[in-house]
Amino acid sequence: MQGSAQLTSVRNAARLLKEFSRTDRELGVSELSRRLGLSTSTVHRMLATLTAERLLERGRSGRYRLGLALYDIGASVGGNLDLHEAALPVMAVLRADTGETVQLAVLDGLESVYIDRLESPHTVRIFARVGTRLPAPTTSTGKVMLAALPPEELDARLAAWTPQRITPYTIVDEAVLRARLREVAERGWAENREESRVGVVSVGAPVRDGSGAVIAALSVAAPTGRATPSALARLRSAVIAAAARASARLGARR
Residues 134 and 16 in one domain: no
Residue finishing a domain among 34, 66, 98:
66
Residues 138 and 240 in one domain: yes
φ, ψ of residue 209 to 5 degrees: the values are: -90, -170
Residue 7: which CATH number?
1.10.10.10
**Chain segment 108-144, per-residue pLDDT in tens:** 889 999 988 888 876 544 556 677 889 999 999 999 9
206 forms beta bridges with 217
Q: What is the block-wise mean pLDDT of the chain (254 residues), using blocks of 10 residues?
A: 63 92 86 95 95 91 88 61 86 93 92 88 60 91 96 92 92 95 96 92 94 94 89 95 93 78
Q: What's the pLDDT at 137? A: 95
Residues 135 and 18 in one domain: no
Range of the domain at 19: 2-66
Residues 22 and 123 in one domain: no
Residues 118 and 244 in one domain: yes
Residue 99: which CATH number?
3.30.450.40
Distance CA 254, CA 251 (A): 9
Residue finishing a domain among 18, 40, 66:
66
Q: What's the pLDDT at 167? A: 94
Kindly state whether residue 242 falls inside one of the protein's structural domains.
Answer: yes
Residues 80 and 44 in one domain: no
Kindly state whether residue 17 falls inside one of the protein's structural domains.
Answer: yes
Kindly state whether residue 21 falls inside one of the protein's structural domains.
Answer: yes
220 forms beta bridges with 102, 203
Residues 28 and 98 in one domain: no
Residues 224 and 192 in one domain: yes
φ, ψ of residue 108 to 5 degrees: the values are: -130, 100
Residues 129 and 237 in one domain: yes
Total domains in the fold of the chain: 2
Identify the helix (H) or strand (E) that includes residue 33.
helix 29-36
Within 10 Å of residue 70's Cβ, how many Cβ atoms? 18
Q: Is 111 helix (H, G, I), strand (E, B) or coil?
A: strand
Residues 88 and 157 in one domain: yes
Distance CA 8, CA 190 (A): 40
Residues 58 and 110 in one domain: no
Q: 58, 79, 54, 57: which is closest to 69 by C-alpha?
A: 54
Kindly state whether residue 43 falls inside one of the protein's structural domains.
Answer: yes
Kindly state whether residue 254 falls inside one of the protein's structural domains.
Answer: no
Q: Are strands 214-223 and 101-108 parallel, antiparallel or unpaired?
A: antiparallel
pTM of the model: 0.68
DSSP tag of 136: G
Q: 30, 57, 26: which is closest to 41 by C-alpha?
A: 30
Residues 146 and 192 in one domain: yes
Three-state SS for 202-224 is EEEEEEECCCCCEEEEEEEEEEH
